[in-house]
């Protein structure tokens, strides 16, 4: 099963564990993963994250290309190609890649986001060389025919139907994305519009592949029972012989000023739990200002960091109006970030009730701000999440790979705790007021179909 990660899925990761999506910055004193890194002559960046807990290695190649790099009217191309990357090369027959991984006791998958595409295998350490051989091969030797493309087109369209067209929330989020962004290609879903998926050709696939799938547009992340000294000879053997390519210039997308709030409502017969949300554009690591980025991470933790957060305690615990309530912030992006609020009414309450209470909490935030205690506790929880991420084989790869793929550095990632720890009450309140006084938010409401 291939995975298409839309921006909404990344938002869910922010709510679950801020460390997984937030780049880090600061001094090396608070290092999180202590990775080793080197770059091949062809431009391939290699990051090694030693973890000796078990004799297993996660091998992930990140290509710095995603849905926002697709040509006009070719939406879904990056994700469709991700599927087709498993179809075979001049060396390996269709399906043989996955068969080799399975035969060697490994697990594999792939993912596409707006900004990058990734392919990974997790195997025993003594099987890593084989993974490098087959992954390096499909970086440059992919073979596609119409006989391979057409069945997979049906798979992609079915994925879109199940994730979006047959999901009321998926349909709503797609419209919200297209409403929030007026100019940036983030308005287009990662999986693509169905009518454009149907029109993608073999030539489209191969042009995109030959343009972006190159060592100088990739990052190889190895996490697990391996060191850079052990990895380098293997990486040079299999990836080092692949020539670099000249990469095209990327458009510099900028959102125009947003001057009007918007509202999107979807009624559907499948909806049993109504919900409310509101989101707005926010600073990202790419757009800044950087001080606000760190402060907004702390704010999102205060407002939406689980059952102890301000919004959940107020709406769900104290006022018994909601079954869920919180906030999230997406700072890691090549374009604008986003900040959002959400809530779902308890039985006997309505979406309007939730919205009124949420508006009251936002008004209170603007008037009174956050407290010193809230800031200190939020910072500690975020730092704890960074520590817990070390225990996983895959989490460090996701943290570092996604950050590097969107322009951050290892130094940024390694000492994030220092910068997040330096956030003050004044900085959080300033960032909150700067964010929330502007027009341009999108409110989304999901309701059951009206009965007559």
Name which of 382, 384, 388, 394 is nearest 49 in CA terms. Answer: 394
Neighbours of 265 (CB within 10 A): 12
Give dist(CA 432, CA 449) in Å, integer. 36
Torsion of CA 352, 354, 357, 360, to 10 degrees: -80
Query: 438 φ, ψ to 5°?
Result: -85, 150
Give the whole-angstrom CA distance, residue 265 versus residue 317. 27
Shortest CA distance to 447 belongs to which of 350, 357, 316?
Answer: 350
Distance CA 158, CA 166 (A): 10
Q: Rounded to the nearest 5 degrees, what angle is found at the Cα of 376, between the Cα atoms of 370 and 381?
A: 110
Tokens of 427: 């900085």
Q: How far is CA 235 from CA 128, 178, 230, 238, 304, in A?
A: 10, 41, 9, 6, 42
Catalytic residue among 82, 135, 355, 374: 82
Is 255 an annotated catalytic residue? no
- Give which of 133, 34, 41, 47 is closest to 89, Cα–Cα: 133
Give which of 348, 338, 438, 393 is closest to 123, Cα–Cα: 393
Q: Which two tokens stand for residue 312?
A: 């959940």
> Could you tell me whether strands 107-112 and 3-4 are parallel, antiparallel, or unpaired per DSSP bridges?
parallel
Chain center to CA of 11: 7
The region that residue 35 occupies, defined by phi over 0 for left and psi between -120 and 50 for alpha, beta otherwise, is beta
Angle 425-436/351-368 helices, nearest 10 degrees? Answer: 130
> What residues are annotated to the active site?
82
């Amino acid at each position: 099963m291939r995975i298409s990660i839309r921006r909404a899925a990344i938002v869910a990761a922010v709510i679950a564990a801020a460390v997984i999506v937030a780049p880090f910055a600061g001094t090396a004193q608070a290092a999180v993963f202590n990775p080793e890194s080197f770059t091949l002559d062809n431009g391939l960046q290699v990051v090694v994250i030693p973890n000796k807990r078990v004799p297993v290695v996660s091998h992930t190649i990140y290509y710095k290309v995603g849905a926002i790099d697709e040509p006009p009217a070719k939406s879904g191309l990056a994700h469709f190609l991700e599927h087709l990357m498993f179809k075979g090369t001049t060396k390996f027959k269709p399906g043989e890649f996955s068969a080799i991984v399975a035969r060697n006791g490994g697990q594999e998958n792939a993912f596409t986001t707006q900004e990058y595409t990734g392919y990974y295998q997790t195997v025993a350490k003594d099987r890593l060389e084989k993974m490098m051989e087959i992954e390096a091969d499909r970086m440059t030797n992919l073979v596609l025919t119409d006989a391979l493309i057409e069945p997979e087109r049906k798979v992609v369209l079915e994925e879109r139907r199940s994730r979006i067209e047959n999901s009321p929330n998926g349909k709503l989020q797609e419209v919200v994305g297209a409403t929030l962004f007026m100019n940036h290609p983030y308005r287009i879903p990662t999986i693509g519009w169905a009518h454009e998926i149907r029109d993608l050709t073999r030539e489209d696939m191969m042009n995109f592949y030959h343009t972006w799938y190159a060592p100088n547009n990739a990052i190889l992340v190895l996490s697990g029972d391996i060191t850079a000294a052990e990895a380098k000879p293997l990486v040079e053997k299999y990836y080092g012989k692949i020539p670099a390519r000249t990469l095209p210039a990327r458009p510099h997308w900028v959102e125009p000023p947003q001057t009007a709030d918007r509202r999107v409502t979807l009624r559907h017969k499948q909806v049993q739990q109504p919900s409310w949300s509101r989101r707005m554009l926010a600073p990202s690591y790419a757009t800044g200002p950087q001080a606000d980025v760190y402060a907004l991470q702390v704010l999102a933790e205060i407002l939406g960091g689980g059952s102890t957060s301000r919004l959940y305690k107020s709406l769900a615990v104290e006022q018994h109006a909601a079954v869920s309530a919180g906030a999230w912030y997406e700072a890691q992006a090549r374009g604008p970030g986003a900040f959002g609020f959400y809530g779902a009414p308890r039985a006997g309450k309505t979406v309007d009730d939730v919205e009124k209470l949420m508006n009251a909490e936002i008004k209170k935030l603007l008037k009174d701000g956050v407290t010193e205690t809230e800031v200190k506790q939020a910072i500690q929880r975020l730092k704890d999440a960074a520590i817990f991420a070390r225990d996983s084989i895959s989490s460090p790869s996701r943290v570092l790979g996604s950050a590097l793929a969107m322009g951050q550095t290892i130094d940024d990632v390694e000492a994030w705790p220092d910068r997040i720890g330096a956030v003050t009450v004044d900085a959080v309140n300033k960032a909150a007021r700067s964010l929330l006084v502007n027009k341009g938010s999108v409110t989304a409401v999901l309701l059951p179909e009206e009965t007559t």
